[in-house]
Amino acid sequence: MASLLGRFCRKLVVPGSAHGSRMVSTTACDSEAVKSLNLHSAINQALHIALETDPRSYVFGEDVGFGGVFRCTTGLAERFGKNRVFNTPLCEQGIVGFGIGLAAMGNRAVVEIQFADYIYPAFDQVKRVFPTLEFDFSTAEFLIRGFNSQIVNEAAKFRYRSGNQFNCGGLTIRAPYGAVGHGGHYHSQSPEAFFCHVPGIKVVIPRSPREAKGLLLSSIRDPNPVVFFEPKWLYRPAVEEVPEHDYMIPLSQAEVIREGNDITLVGWGAQLTVMEQACLDAEKVLDFIFQLKDNWFKVSNMGLELIMQEGISCELIDLKTLLPWDKETVEASVKKTGRLLISHEAPVTGGFGAEISATILERCFLKVKSLRFNSSRRD
């Protein structure tokens, strides 16, 4: 992974944006102003807009006051005041539960968990999630702290068990997730699969700055509790033109970032960067021709035939929302290509890829010629 990061970090091509003509996007119209931003700045902008447009929204979590460990919350406390943007002590379960309560009173709370690895203590609370709360958990790892109690039992089931009297629709829990190269055991986890197993919440993962801003604003304004995982690897290196105005990208709609005919690739978050590179590699004329160039005169006939061969045409889909996920888009694509490759960072067994494969096989059984998993994590 580290070598892969080294390859990408210097000049990160955000999936779908470099080959702009092929991008199917629901974002800004061309007349609006755009700015080149990286992921944390885009998220920061989204938070500024969210707080501006709804006076009853709050951002809190560990260290958010000074801007957060990843600079996602810079300027918020200065602009909106310490009553709306504030630090919490080191207690994820307490933070999420607190946010749930706040949301139950009809507020939007953006909660930050510092690392997704810390979300587990709040996990239980998530099931209890109350109305639109956006928690700003600095990292998805810390989110694991919140995992234990709050998210699953409190947040997710609140609306249901109160017979729609109360809800935590406005709760948004933000957490940096995923490998970053030096994170080790507890700053690299991808816990999205745990949350996908909980009916009542939504799980959203952006792949790039422009997506992140739109998706975050949608998540904040969505009347259901949302867990928003941000690929921490992309915070600084991923740069994209991001429209400056207020825009939202709809949830539960997957996007075909790259059209193709031979195989469908499905992924989300930072993994798409890797997958797009794989698509480019697959489409190129077969590499070994260049390796044979010294012996060109010997293999010229065979070589010519090989040059005639085309590469593999890949269709790349960004799921964006994992729960509830856009089955129709993936199904339509697999019906076209007949092959599916799912790639994600989290461990394979019990990972979200398993859910996708089961559903697609069920829906497209006769059309599927091959199905594979690929994970950057060992199982």
Per-residue binder mask for another protein (CB under 8 A), 305-334, x = binder: ------------------------------
Nearer to another protein, 66 or 160 (CB): 66
Bridge pairing between strands 226-231 and 171-177 = parallel
Active-site residue, selected from the candidate residues 187, 192, 211, 344 = 187
Question: CB under 8 A: which stretch of 10-18, 29-37, 98-106, 113-121 binds another protein?
Answer: 113-121
Cα–Cα distance measured from residue 290 to residue 146, given in angstroms and rounded to the nearest whole number: 53
| Residue 9 touches another protein, criterion: CB under 8 A | no
Nearer to another protein, 11 or 378 (CB): 378
Nearer to another protein, 87 or 277 (CB): 87
Out of 183, 191, 214, 267, which residue is the one contacting another protein (CB under 8 A)? 183
| Residue 185 touches another protein, criterion: CB under 8 A | yes
| Planar angle of CA 195, 56, 115, nearest 5 degrees | 35
- 19 counts as catalytic: no
**How far apart are CB 349 and another protein at their closest, in Å?**
9
Task: Of 327, 345, 333, give the one whose Cα is nearest residue 268.
Answer: 345
**How far apart are CB 93 and another protein at their closest, in Å?**
5
| Residue 10 touches another protein, criterion: CB under 8 A | no
6 CB-contact burial (10 Å; exposed 0-12 / middle 13-18 / buried 19+): exposed
**How far apart are CB 311 and another protein at their closest, in Å?**
20
Residue 312, both tokens: 């593999």
Per-residue binder mask for another protein (CB under 8 A), 136-175, x = binder: --------xx------------------------------
Question: CB under 8 A: which stretch of 71-79, 114-122, 213-221, 248-256 binds another protein?
Answer: 114-122
Out of 37, 51, 62, 156, which residue is the one contacting another protein (CB under 8 A)? 62
| Residue 90 touches another protein, criterion: CB under 8 A | yes
Out of 24, 33, 35, 66, which residue is the one contacting another protein (CB under 8 A)? 66
Within 13 Å of residue 165, how many CA atoms lie on the same side as its CB?
3
Active-site residue, selected from the candidate residues 92, 192, 255, 331 = 92
Cβ neighbours for 251, distance < 8 A, ≥ 6 positions apart: 202, 204, 215, 218, 219, 222, 226, 320, 321
- 283 counts as catalytic: no
For the chain, report the end-to-end CA distance as a whole number of angstroms: 15
| Residue 374 touches another protein, criterion: CB under 8 A | yes
Catalytic residues: 92, 187
Q: Which residues bind another protein (CB under 8 A)?
A: 62-63, 66, 87, 89-91, 93-94, 117-118, 121, 144-145, 182-187, 348, 373-376, 378-379
